[in-house]
Amino acid sequence: MLYIDPAPQTISERINEAFVPVVDLLDKVFFWDPVEAVGIEIEADVPIVVLWLLFGGIFFTFRMGFINIRAFRHAFGLLSGKYDKPGSKGEVSHFQALSTALSATIGLGNITGVAIAIAIGGPGATLWMILAGFFGMSLKFTECTLGIKYRHMDENGKVSGGPMYYLDMALSKRGLKPVGKTLALFSAVMMVLASFGGSNMLQSNQSFVQFATIIPSLGPHGFWFGIALSVLIGFVVIGGIKGIARVTSKLVPFMSILYVGTALIIIMINFTRIDDVFLIIIKGAFNPVAVKGGIIGVIIQGFRRGAFSNEAGVGSAAVAHAAARTDEPVKEGIVAMLEPFIDTILICTMTSLVIIFTGLHEMTGALEGTEITSAAFASVFPWFPYLLVVAILCFAFSTMISWSYYGLNGFKFLFEKIILKLTGSKKPVSYIYYAIFLFFTVVGASSSLDNVIAFSDMMVLTLAFPNIIGLLILAPEIWGDLKNYMERYRMGLIKKFR
């Protein structure tokens, strides 16, 4: 019998296979199903990370006295710069910090993830997705207030911040130094790994896939697409947070208005169906038919999409907001509340409504992910698939440049002191990190490393575990700061400077 050797594996395939046991282990640890573990069968997956994020959102909404409602209007006043005290420390404005954080969350999840949630959980998932955004607002307020309060500023005014900094500094101040240091190191490692994979490789990979669907001849040239993308990213990130903020403050409003505006046109064209659509959503939320896991399955899918999309609770946005120019941490926390509102309650809901208004929610068996969203928009605008590619490229690019800054802060926390001792300079830290980051941009566009990307994407979600533990410990401190601020605001002591 003639034996034929199988085709030799490529490096990508070997790396991909090497991560199989790692992904399986993480899945068992951080994504295990506690409902199934206690012997309750509901025919739906209930990952522990979703319950953890949901708990955090609900807890801080009540603990902070529904700050997401009380300070909602004030958030827009702060965002406009009316309350900016001249001479406040920081590198970017409130609006630029918000744009940078939003650019990291508004992405493929708003297009593909919503369609998947509807495909699995039905139209009723929309309502629970909106609630996830509502609860996420309070969680985002809490972590971004800490991001400002415990940021690190060097002699040149350069800011470093995020969960690794406030977990370390704030918990040490409370006599919990070992706990704080452990949680901070865990967060920093995951922040770096997440920036390389799910927030870089996945984005470059999926943006190239979408680009190649419009121009099939580009299919074999993912490597060169990755090179071009890495060059563009390099030009932006070399300017640090100020350069990133300048780009995102223009790109985020443009892509959001373009996407939401197109969605609103489709909704208005089909406006006569509005009663039917909201009836479908309400019925699907409380009385789902043929949805795996029944009402629990719908709730989990809605909350899962909402929580995963806005990243409330993982602490990533606190890195961007730490750089804001402000004289009070609570001010930036209130501005940060707008992220889940814009990302989840507004943009994710627009995607969902377009799919339902056009009736494409009934075609989920034949289409998948982006195909559902694309078909829904194309049913009204035949040219929309081309616009969708532009939107996906913008969303992916903005996510990558923002997460490069997040990862850099984690990398600095881990290695800056070591590299300073070895070289006598802090500059190599940024050079080393960005070289690795841009390398993975090229790898992501030219490979199909499913398990590597899955591993790195898990890092984003597992950030929620150390972060929310720290937030729970620090909740009384944040509540004290908030209470003091809101009392002064009601008394008219929070001044407008312009």
3-state secondary structure 160-221: ECCHHHHHHHHHHHCCCHHHHHHHHHHHHHHHHHHHHHHHHHHHHHHHHHHHHHHCHHHCCC
The answer on pLDDT for 472 being more than 90 is yes
Q: What is the mean pLDDT of residues 267-292?
A: 81
Q: What is the mean pLDDT of residues 424-428?
A: 78
In a domain, 24, yes or no: no
In a domain, 495, yes or no: no
Q: What is the mean pLDDT of residues 10-29?
A: 70
Contact of 408 with 434, CB cutoff 8 Å: yes
How many other CB atoms are there within 10 angstroms of residue 240's CB atom? 17
pLDDT for res 450: 65
Comparing 66 with 12, the larger pLDDT belongs to: 66
How many helices (H) and strands (E) are present in the chain, helices listed first?
A: 26, 2
* Cα–Cα distance for residue pair 174/183, rounded to 1 Å: 14
Q: What is the 3-state secondary structure (H, E, C) of 358-397?
A: CCHHHHCCCCCCHHHHHHHHHCCCCCHHHHHHHHHHHHHH
pLDDT for res 157: 72
Which of 198-202, 292-296, 419-423 ranks highest by mean pLDDT?
Answer: 419-423
How many other CB atoms are there within 10 angstroms of residue 268's CB atom? 10
Contact of 112 with 396, CB cutoff 8 Å: no
Alpha-helical segments (H) within 11-113: 11-18, 20-30, 34-37, 48-63, 67-70, 72-79, 94-105, 108
In the block, which residue shows the tokens 């060097």?
154
The answer on pLDDT for 368 being more than 70 is no
The answer on pLDDT for 168 being more than 90 is yes
Using pLDDT thresholds of 50, 70 and 90, give the confidence band for residue 180: very high
Structure tokens at 470: 């720290």
Average pLDDT, the chain: 82
The answer on pLDDT for 186 being more than 80 is yes
Using pLDDT thresholds of 50, 70 and 90, give the confidence band for residue 291: low
pLDDT for res 3: 46
The answer on pLDDT for 357 being more than 80 is yes
Structure tokens at 2: 């003639």
Which residues, 6+ apart, have CB-to-CB distance to 121 below 8 Å? 128, 288, 291, 297, 298, 300, 301, 302
Percent of the chain with pLDDT over 90: 21
Comparing 355 with 297, the larger pLDDT belongs to: 355
Contact of 402 with 104, CB cutoff 8 Å: yes
Comparing 12 with 248, the larger pLDDT belongs to: 248
Percent of the chain with pLDDT over 70: 89
In a domain, 121, yes or no: yes
**In what helix (H) or strand (E) does residue 152 lie, and over which residues does it extend?**
strand 152-153
Structure tokens at 138: 């309070």
Least confident interval from 298-312, 317-331, 441-455: 441-455
pLDDT for res 401: 84
In a domain, 23, yes or no: no
The answer on pLDDT for 48 being more than 80 is yes
Q: What is the mean pLDDT of residues 298-318?
A: 81
Using pLDDT thresholds of 50, 70 and 90, give the confidence band for residue 257: confident
pLDDT for res 336: 92
How many other CB atoms are there within 10 angstroms of residue 347's CB atom? 27
How confident is the model over 319-356, as pLDDT tens digits? 988 888 888 899 999 999 999 999 888 888 888 898 88
In a domain, 11, yes or no: no
CA distances 110 to 48, 104, 369, 487, Å, are 22, 12, 11, 37
pTM exceeding the 0.85 threshold for the entire prediction: yes
Comparing 394 with 364, the larger pLDDT belongs to: 394
Contact of 426 with 419, CB cutoff 8 Å: yes
231: exposed, middle or buried (Cβ count in 10 Å: 0-12, 13-18, 19+): exposed
The answer on pLDDT for 36 being more than 80 is no
| Count of domains observed in the chain | 1
Q: Nearest to residue 67, comparing CAs of 334, 343, 336?
A: 334
Comparing 159 with 412, the larger pLDDT belongs to: 412
Comparing 233 with 109, the larger pLDDT belongs to: 233
Structure tokens at 105: 């969350």
Which long-range CB contacts under 8 A does 371-378 form with residues at least 24 apart?
A: 371/115, 372/115, 372/118, 372/119, 373/111, 373/112, 373/114, 373/115, 376/266, 377/262, 377/263, 377/266
Least confident interval from 106-115, 305-314, 398-407, 451-460: 451-460
Q: Report CA dihedral (252, 255, 256, 261) to the nearest 10 degrees.
A: 160
DSSP class of 66: S
The answer on pLDDT for 408 being more than 70 is yes
Contact of 104 with 316, CB cutoff 8 Å: yes
Q: Is 156 helix (H, G, I), strand (E, B) or coil?
A: coil
In a domain, 5, yes or no: no
Q: Report CA dihedral (453, 412, 93, 332) to the nearest 10 degrees.
A: 80
Q: Nearest to residue 120, comparing CAs of 31, 51, 44?
A: 44
Q: What is the mean pLDDT of residues 461-478?
A: 92
pLDDT for res 2: 46
Q: Nearest to residue 151, comparing CAs of 176, 168, 132, 136?
A: 168
pLDDT for res 307: 75
The answer on pLDDT for 119 being more than 50 is yes
The answer on pLDDT for 69 being more than 80 is yes
pLDDT for res 5: 47
* Cα–Cα distance for residue pair 288/295, rounded to 1 Å: 6
Q: What is the mean pLDDT of residues 351-366?
A: 79
Q: What is the mean pLDDT of residues 186-215?
A: 80
Comparing 149 with 158, the larger pLDDT belongs to: 149
**Containing structural domain, residue 296:** 43-490
pLDDT for res 482: 94
Comparing 4 with 378, the larger pLDDT belongs to: 378
In a domain, 38, yes or no: no
Comparing 488 with 213, the larger pLDDT belongs to: 488
pLDDT for res 452: 62
Q: What is the mean pLDDT of residues 130-145?
A: 92
CATH number of the domain enclosing 57: 1.20.1740
In a domain, 215, yes or no: yes
pLDDT for res 4: 47
Comparing 484 with 23, the larger pLDDT belongs to: 484
